[in-house]
Amino acid sequence: MPLDIVILAAGQGTRMNSSRPKVLHTIAGKSMLQHVIDAARSFDDAHLHIVIGHGAEQIRNEISGEDIRWVVQEKQLGTGHAVHQALPFLRPKAIALVLYGDVPLVNPATLKQLVLSVDAENMALLTVDLEHPSGYGRVLRDSEGCVTSIVEQKDATEEQLRIHEVNTGIVAAPVSHFARWLPALKCENAQGEYYLTDIIAMACAEGLRIHTQSALSEAEVLGVNDRYQQARLERIYQDKQARALMAQGVTLMDPQRFDCRGHIVAGRDVVVDVNVVFSGHVELGDNVVIGPNCVISNAKIGRGSHIKANSVIEDAKIGCDVDVGPFARIRPGTVLGDASRIGNFVETKNAVFGEGSKANHLAYIGDAEIGVDCNIGAGTITCNYDGANKHKTVMGDQVFVGSNSTLVAPLVIESGGFVGAGSTVTKTVPEKNLAVARGQQRNIAGWKRPEKNK
């Protein structure tokens, strides 16, 4: 049977105390709703329907995909009412799977197993046993162990509150059954809402079998209602990422102080110190060492390179046996050749460094092509922006730039060129020439040093 997936994302999330819709708050740098969408997209050819209400336009602006049908729930009257809004768009002969935009860690493998148990005589319900089930609807069973209904926490008796098997809210059933059940829902409960969970009792009354499946872990069905729960899921997610990397042989000096907000491909014997944040797609070659407090985004770092403490790397390619930092900023478009060196308080942007070239400290190199074995002294800057356009600085091989030099682009310094310290260079430096461009020194005898006013 074809599959229609309905994701409920209309709630405000008042306990988040935020102007943003709850489902747009992030886990590992990605919105909770996007996590759920990605899980839904693991099914081949499923139709995807997202029910939105509070902050609908904001959600539409931040979540994209031609495969998404947006369904607006004008008034938030409960989960049953939300699914009912999507009903006209569901295929009559399909299975409907209901997910939640604030339950971000759901496992696609769990969902696929759940859907497999659904047919004309069977619906499926995902449950989990919780040591502390407060806040969840309890699963009620008869003397033979068959599910009979679900009772919400606020409507449960003292005896029912002692039940540890709870409803996750994730259900799957033929659309034709939903078409009968949803219009018959009533709001006679403590919340005055139309509960989706009431369809369980309707299914039992019709003689349908309710297949229950236990979640693989509590974490995959935990929802987020406040900032603390969000932080808890963040650490659960990061622990999973850390365990996967360590299983591949990566050394994490402290797995509790590690954050991956994207995807990491790591070689052998990689070492990552504390408080490192990875985002986007990052590749780490063999024997790479990342020092503490680094932020690395969309970067490839070659074998044997050492990224020292407090460095930031973004959209860059780092060669093999490269030293970066501490306190370096490698901006987009930077390519560092093998055995090159970018030292403390050096910033690069759209700059290509040849093999063995170095800028050891206190420099800005932007829109530049640097040859092999060049040395750029402290305090050197490339003046690449004229207020309207960017211009390039090009250096040949074995160029030496003295400290505190200003290189005004467009500029070419040919191979073997030498720039004297403190120079402002505006014209081409020919091969193996010395360029000195600074005011002549004067020594004034008898000069009186200024004194502070009394």
Residues labelled as active-site residues: 361
The region, left, alpha or beta by phi > 0 then psi within -120 to 50, assigned to residue 325 is left
In contact, 270 and 252? CB cutoff 8 Å: no
Q: Tokens 């010395």 — which residue?
A: 434
CA distances from 268 to 117, 121, 287, 291, 301 (A): 42, 52, 6, 17, 13
Interhelix angle 32-40/108-116, rounded to 10 degrees, is 50
Nearest to 163 by CA among 201, 128, 200: 128
The tokens describing 410, both together, are 């467009």
C-alpha to C-alpha distance for 377 and 32, rounded to whole angstroms: 47
In contact, 354 and 374? CB cutoff 8 Å: yes
C-alpha to C-alpha distance for 59 and 395, rounded to whole angstroms: 48
Nearest to 276 by CA among 257, 250, 263: 257
C-alpha to C-alpha distance for 249 and 425, rounded to whole angstroms: 49
C-alpha to C-alpha distance for 176 and 411, rounded to whole angstroms: 72
